[in-house]
Amino acid sequence: MPEAIKLLQVSGLRTEFRTPAGAVQAVRGVSFGLDPGETVGIVGESGSGKSVTALTILRLIKSPPGRISAGSVKFRGIDLLAQDDAYMRSIRGNRISMIFQEPMTSLNPLMTVGDQLAEVMQWHQNLSRREGMNRAIELLRKVQIPSPEKRVRDYPHHMSGGMRQRVMIAIALACDPAILIADEPTTALDVTIQSQIMDLMLGLKDEFGSAVLMITHDLGVIAEMAQRVIVMYAGQVVEAGSVYEIFDEPLHPYTQALLRSVPKLGSRTEKGRHRLQEIPGLVASLINIPDGCAFRERCRFAGPECNGAIELQAAGDGRMVRCIKVA
C-alpha cells in the first residue's frame, strides 16, 4: 500500500519472556503509529504490556529470558528490529530517547549530572567535554533548574526527586530527539512536583517538537497530556482513539469500566458514600492465554461469541476497538 512513511510504525509486535512456569506473553501483536510532534498516551494496568512495548521499541529487552518474537518497529521506514547493535546505539538517546519512572535508579550515582549530560552529546554529537559541559548548563536552564552553573557539578544524591527527573528530561532532550518515550515519568513524584514536571514537558515539547510516547497508568496524566490514547489490556491494544473520544465515549467495556472505577475528585455526592464501580476478578495471567477476548471473564457483556479470535477493528475515523460486541 503506497502510504507516506511514518515517523514510527509499530506492527504486529510480540515480546515474550521465558519463565519456569511457561512463556509470559507480555506483548501480543501490538500495532500503532506515531506522527512528528504528536503525543500518544499508552494507558493500562500492571501487566498490560505498556512498558514492555516501550522497551521493545528501543530493543532494551534482555535476552534471554526475553525475546522479541514477531513484528517490526519502523523508524522513518527502517526496521529497528533488523539492525545491528551499533546502529541501535546511534539511535538510542539520540533520535529516540527515553525517560524512566525512577530518576534515582536511572541516573549514575557516581557521575555528576553535568558529566552525564555531556556524555550523551560527546557520544552522539562529537562535542568536546568543554562544549558538552556548556551545553549541559544550557539544558539544565531549559528544564528550569535554578543556578545551573553550580548544579552541573552536583551528584544525583544532592538533588530532590523532582530535580532528578528534570535532569533525566534534560539528558533525554540533549540530542534533540525525534521521539521521546516517557515511561511513567511522574508516577514516583508527589502531586505538586508531578504538576511541575507535566508543565515542563508540555512546554519543552512545543520547543523541541519531539513526538512523545507517554506511558502511564494514570488516567489523569493521560487526559492532561495526550492527543491520542491507546488502551492496553493483557498485552494487546483494546482501544485507540483521540483523547476526547476515549474519555467522552469509550467503546471497549474495559475502557468503560476503567474510567468508572477511578475515584474522581469532586464526584462524591453530598452525604452519599457510594461504592465505587469495581471491575470484578483479577487481571488476566499472561501465561497460556486462551484464545478470544482476554477481558471476557471480567466483562459484563461477555457471551459465547467472545471465545473466538477477536481482531482490532476500525470503529470510525481513526478509532480502533477490539470487541465483537461493539464493532
Partner 1 sequence: MTSAVAPGPLLRVNDLKVHFNAKSAPIRAVDGVSFDLARGETLGIVGESGCGKTTTGMSIVNLTQATSGDVIFDGVDLTHLHSLPKSRQLELRRRIQVVFQDPYSSLNPRKTLTQTLDKPLRIHGLTAAERKDRIAYLLEKVGLSPKQADRYPHEFSGGQRQRIGIARALAVSPELIICDEAVSALDVSIQAQIINLLLDLQEEFNLSYLFISHDLAVVEHVADRVAVMYLGKIVEMAPYQALFTDPQHPYTQALLSAIPVPDPRRRGARLVLQGDVSSPLNAPSGCPFHTRCARKSSVCQVVAPPLTGIAEDHSVSCHNL
Applying CB under 8 A, which residues contact partner 1? 45-46, 160-163, 190-196, 198-199, 217-225, 243-244, 247, 257-259, 261-268, 270, 273, 275-280, 282-283
Query: What distance in Å separates the CA atoms of residue 52 and residue 235, rounded to the nearest whole number?
Result: 9
Query: What distance in Å separates the CA atoms of residue 283 and residue 176, rounded to the nearest whole number?
Result: 38
Q: In the complex with partner 1, which residue's Cβ is closer, 121 or 232?
A: 232
Q: In the complex with partner 1, which residue's Cβ is closer, 156 or 162?
A: 162
Q: In the complex with partner 1, which residue's Cβ is closer, 175 or 283?
A: 283
Query: What distance in Å separates the CA atoms of residue 232 and residue 234, rounded to the nearest whole number?
Result: 7
Q: Min. distance of Cβ 220 from partner 1 in angstroms? A: 3
Do residues 117 and 108 lie in contact, with contact meaning Cβ atoms separated by under 8 Å? no
Q: Min. distance of Cβ 118 from partner 1 in angstroms? A: 25
> Reduced to 3 states, what is the DSSP secondary structure of residue 14?
strand
Kindly state the helix (H) or strand (E) to which residue 245 belongs, with its residue range: helix 243-248
Query: What distance in Å separates the CA atoms of residue 267 and residue 261, rounded to the nearest whole number?
Result: 12
Residue 161: Cβ-neighbour burial (10 angstroms; 0-12, 13-18, 19+) = middle
Q: Min. distance of Cβ 155 from partner 1 in angstroms? A: 17
Q: Min. distance of Cβ 189 from partner 1 in angstroms? A: 9
Q: Min. distance of Cβ 152 from partner 1 in angstroms? A: 18
Q: In the complex with partner 1, which residue's Cβ is closer, 85 or 248?
A: 248
> Reduced to 3 states, what is the DSSP secondary structure of residue 97?
strand
Q: Min. distance of Cβ 259 from partner 1 in angstroms? A: 7
Neighbouring CB atoms inside 10 A of 297's CB total 14
Q: In the complex with partner 1, which residue's Cβ is closer, 133 or 221?
A: 221
> Using the 8-state DSSP alphabet, how is residue 21 labeled?
T
103-110 — which CB contacts under 8 Å span 24+ positions? 103/156, 103/161, 103/164, 103/165, 103/167, 103/168, 103/188, 104/156, 104/161, 104/164, 106/168, 107/156, 107/164, 107/167, 107/168, 108/156, 109/155, 109/156, 109/157, 110/155
Q: In the complex with partner 1, which residue's Cβ is closer, 72 or 242?
A: 242
Please report, for residues 224, 233, 267, the alpha-carbon distance to residue 276 in angstroms, rounded to integers and kept in the order given. 23, 21, 11
Q: In the complex with partner 1, which residue's Cβ is closer, 87 or 244?
A: 244
Do residues 42 and 48 lie in contact, with contact meaning Cβ atoms separated by under 8 Å? no
Q: Min. distance of Cβ 278 from partner 1 in angstroms? A: 4
Q: Min. distance of Cβ 68 from partner 1 in angstroms? A: 26
Q: Which three cell numbers stand for residue 262?
A: 477511578
Q: In the complex with partner 1, which residue's Cβ is closer, 2 or 263?
A: 263
